[in-house]
Amino acid sequence: MTSIWLADPENGQIRGGRVHLDKNGLTGTFENEWTFQTPSDHTIVSISAPLSTDIIHSQGRPLADRSVLYKFLNPNILAILTKSTEESNIEAMAITFYLIDGVTGQMLHNANHKRSTGPVNIVLAENWVVYSYWAAKMHRTEITAVELYQEMLKNLSPISV
């Protein structure tokens, strides 16, 4: 079995599941295990996943008290940016960021940026994500960085299917 995810940007949907291959490995079936649906007034504009060739430089960050903050290292993480379809009204414009586990479908983090629109760019590596968007009210490009650590994600509730 292999876990995969399939994106349908037109319908604002991402489905994840497993592929069961037959004995010769030429054909198989897809078993849907989770579905992520964007709000009806949003479209998916960018999806990013870590490259399989990425190198992990260290497993943690040393702190001043000599303890270690361990990075949340998940090779199956998905970073998704959606944009509202309402472009004529600056108050209705929004960019929404989602961080999802590509195997379980569990949402790890999300953020909404009001009065923002595209173009968007996104980079995902190790335990961090950096994305940019156009802040229409301020007339500038803004950049957001998110770092994930084990302690931050301990209290997540399990996903319901």
78-103 pLDDT, tens digit per residue, is 999 999 887 777 778 899 999 999 88
17 neighbors 4 (Cβ within 8 angstroms): yes
- Give the model's pLDDT for residue 67: 86
Query: pLDDT tens across 94-136, in order?
Result: 999 999 998 888 999 999 999 998 899 999 988 899 999 999 8
% the chain with pLDDT above 90: 37
- Give the model's pLDDT for residue 153: 61
pLDDT higher than threshold 70 for residue 158: no
Phi/psi of residue 142, each to 5°? -115, 150
How would you label 5-37 residue by residue, b for 16+ Cβ within 10 Å and e otherwise?
bebeeeebebbbbeeeeeeeeeeeeeeebbebe
Place of tokens 């595209």: 118
Q: Which residue has the higher pLDDT, 81 or 159?
A: 81
Query: pLDDT tens across 14-54, in order?
Result: 999 988 888 887 888 888 899 999 998 899 999 998 887 87
